[in-house]
């Protein structure tokens, strides 16, 4: 998981032409298990000298995210803090419908929207599929790393660009607009096809 975070930060840095940064989010000041997490993080970080490293406690990171979310690139943490920060960060972006989530293990990974299944939107035509598309992009990046297949990473970039273009051309319902699932999906497909 930590290696993936550094690889992701490195790729993002290349595409944005700026240094990558990985923030280790833990509660090492309170929990012995978190001290081990921080130790492992530090060991992996030493093998990525080109990526900036930062440490933050879980309770303090929320305030930093509110004040200056642009100061962060990739956050790496354990599951409980990760779930909390994923939901919190999605709300900062305006909606959980915009945030993907990845739970990455040594051999397997799960990718999904941060909001989960959004059962409250089922069948109403108002679910925003953007987080699912971004989760697919994360999955393609992970698969590209797992199988040394750059075409998969290229596919992830196509999805990310499609989302960027879509979000400037539609006004989703959750932001007070009229565009629901069908309109957003049509825009995404059009931008994916180029």
Domain boundaries along the sequence of the chain: 1-93, 95-194
What are 181-190's contacts with CB under 8 Å, separation 24+?
Answer: 181/125, 181/126, 181/127, 181/128, 181/129, 182/125, 184/128, 184/129, 184/130, 185/129, 188/129, 188/130, 188/133, 188/162, 188/163
Residues (pLDDT < 70) of the chain are 15-17
For β-strands 74-76 and 100-104, DSSP reports them as unpaired
pLDDT digits (tens, 9 = 90+) for 112-156: 988 777 788 888 999 999 999 999 999 999 999 899 999 999 999
What is the per-residue pLDDT for 105?
Answer: 78
What is the per-residue pLDDT for 173?
Answer: 92
Q: Which residues contact 93 (CB under 8 A, 6 or more apart)?
A: 99
Query: Between the CA of residue 78 and those of 14, 26, 64, 102, 152, what are the distances in Å?
Result: 26, 7, 18, 12, 26
Q: What does the radius of gyration of the chain's CA atoms come to, in whole angstroms?
A: 17
- Helices 181-193 and 130-147: angle between axes, nearest 10 degrees: 40
Instruction: Quote the CA–CA distance of 148 and 161 in Å, as a whole number.
Output: 22
Q: Which residues contact 160 (CB under 8 A, 6 or more apart)?
A: 134, 137
**CATH code assigned to 1-93:** 3.40.50.2300
What is the per-residue pLDDT for 16?
Answer: 67
Instruction: Quote the CA–CA distance of 19 and 172 in Å, as a whole number.
Output: 33
Of 62, 57, 52, 55, residue with least CA distance to 30: 57
């Amino acid at each position: 998981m930590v290696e993936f975070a550094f690889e992701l930060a490195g790729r993002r840095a290349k595409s944005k032409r700026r240094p990558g940064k990985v923030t280790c989010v833990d509660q090492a000041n309170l929990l012995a298990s978190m001290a081990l997490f921080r130790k492992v993080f530090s060991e992996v970080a030493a093998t990525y000298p080109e990526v900036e490293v930062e440490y933050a406690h879980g309770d303090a990171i929320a305030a930093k995210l509110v004040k200056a979310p642009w100061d962060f690139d990739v956050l790496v943490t354990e599951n409980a803090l990760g779930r909390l920060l994923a939901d919190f960060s999605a709300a900062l972006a305006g909606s959980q419908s915009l945030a993907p989530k990845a739970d990455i293990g040594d051999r397997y990974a799960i990718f999904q929207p941060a909001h989960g299944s959004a059962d409250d939107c089922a069948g109403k035509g108002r679910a925003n599929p953007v987080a699912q598309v971004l989760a697919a992009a994360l999955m393609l990046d992970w698969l590209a790393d797992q199988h040394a297949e750059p075409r998969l990473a290229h596919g992830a970039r196509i999805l990310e660009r499609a989302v960027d273009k879509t979000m400037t051309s539609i006004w989703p319902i959750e932001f007070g607009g009229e565009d629901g699932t069908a309109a957003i999906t049509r825009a995404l497909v059009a931008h994916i096809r180029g």
